[in-house]
């Protein structure tokens, strides 16, 4: 773990392997939050532990898809004790996160049909711990809108690479003003609104990597992919999966 007065965290990546770890270290990160799509929390934890070492803390998290596929609201959640599936109602998900004392973040607000809205934030501002104010998939006006939303509700900011591609890891990070030694300390820092800076790279290489991530978005959100993943009702993060013991009603 890096010693010093700051702690640099890429707050959201979808990819994790040895090359990702090496890239994160080369870019001076202290931690990487790993939140892949459609993978259950125990598996995410296992991978995060496998790739964590004294130089890089990999923090397991879930980007939970609430609501239906056509109008889904993503929430980035750190510090869950028990798994929460995708495609449950927004209200039910928020209640479960509160019960578990997790840190709840709003990634890419008001972005397409995959994000929390101003209305959601107005209703849950006291239970959302930070709003993403820079995302490499955003256009400049969308990042400006996200900053305006965070300010409107007086919520702390965060940023991430939102890396679906290895090359994007470390393009943006959240820098806290003190060292954090564990995932639990990061969760606590988020929930208490600890001071932080929002930092990103610049220049033509950064712009190219942002463009590559945006191009990846079309494939990621294709109807064929979600149709293949969720029609059977047995996928790892589907509410009807046996792992959830019928505790959740899905909205699909």
Residue 151 has pLDDT above 90, yes or no: yes
| pLDDT over 60 (residue 231) | no
Q: What is the mean pLDDT of residues 13-26?
A: 96
- Of the pLDDT bands very low, low, confident and very high (cuts 50, 70, 90), residue 250 is confident
Give the pLDDT score at 244.
76
Structural domain harbouring 26: 7-244
pLDDT of 93 strictly over 70: yes
DSSP 85-129: -SSB-HHHHHHHHHHHT-EEEE-STT-TTSS--HHHHHHHTTT--
**What is the mean pLDDT of the segment spanning 76-97?**
95
- Tell me if 251 is assigned to some domain: no
The answer to whether position 54 is within a domain reads yes
Q: What is the pTM of this model?
A: 0.88
Kindly state whether residue 1 falls inside one of the protein's structural domains.
Answer: no
Question: Is there a domain that residue 2 lies in?
Answer: no
Report if residue 250 sits inside a domain: no
**pLDDT for residue 233:** 54
Residue 249 lies in a domain: no
So what's the pLDDT on residue 236? Answer: 82
Predicted local distance difference test score (pLDDT) of residue 222 = 54
Q: Each residue of 36-63: pLDDT tens digit?
A: 988 999 999 999 999 999 999 999 999 9
Number of domains composing the chain: 1
How sure is the predictor about 2, in pLDDT bands with cuts at 50, 70 and 90?
very low
53 in any annotated domain: yes
Mean pLDDT within 170-177? 95
Q: Residue 31: beta bridge partners?
A: 9, 57
| Domain at 96, CATH number | 3.20.20.140
Query: Which range has the worst mean pLDDT, 18-27, 64-73, 132-141, 198-207?
Result: 198-207
- 108 vs 216 pLDDT, higher one: 108
Is the pLDDT at 216 greater than 80, yes or no?
A: no
Structural domain includes residue 115: yes
């Amino acid at each position: 773990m890096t010693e010093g007065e700051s702690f640099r965290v890429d707050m959201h990546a979808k990819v994790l392997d040895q090359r990702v770890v090496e890239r994160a270290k080369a870019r001076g990160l202290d931690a990487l939050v790993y939140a892949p799509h459609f993978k259950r929390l125990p598996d995410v934890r296992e991978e995060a532990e496998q790739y964590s070492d004294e130089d890089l803390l990999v923090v397991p998290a879930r980007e939970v898809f609430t609501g239906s596929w056509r109008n889904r609201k993503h929430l980035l959640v750190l510090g869950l004790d028990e798994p929460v599936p995708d495609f449950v109602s927004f209200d039910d998900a928020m209640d479960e996160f509160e019960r578990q004392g997790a840190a709840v973040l709003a990634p890419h607000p008001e972005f397409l049909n995959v994000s929390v809205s101003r209305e959601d934030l107005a209703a849950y501002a006291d239970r959302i711990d930070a709003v993403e104010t820079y995302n490499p998939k955003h256009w400049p006006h969308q990042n400006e809108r996200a900053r305006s939303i965070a300010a409107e509700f007086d919520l702390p900011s965060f940023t991430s690479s939102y890396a679906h591609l290895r090359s994007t890891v470390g393009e943006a990070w959240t820098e806290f003003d003190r060292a954090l030694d564990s995932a639990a300390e990061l969760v606590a820092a988020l929930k208490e609104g600890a001071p932080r800076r929002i930092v990103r790279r610049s220049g033509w290489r950064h712009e190219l990597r942002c463009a590559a991530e945006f191009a990846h978005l079309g494939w990621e959100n294709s109807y064929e992919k979600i149709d293949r993943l969720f029609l059977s009702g047995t996928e790892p993060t589907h509410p009807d999966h046996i792992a959830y013991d019928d505790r959740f009603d899905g909205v699909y």
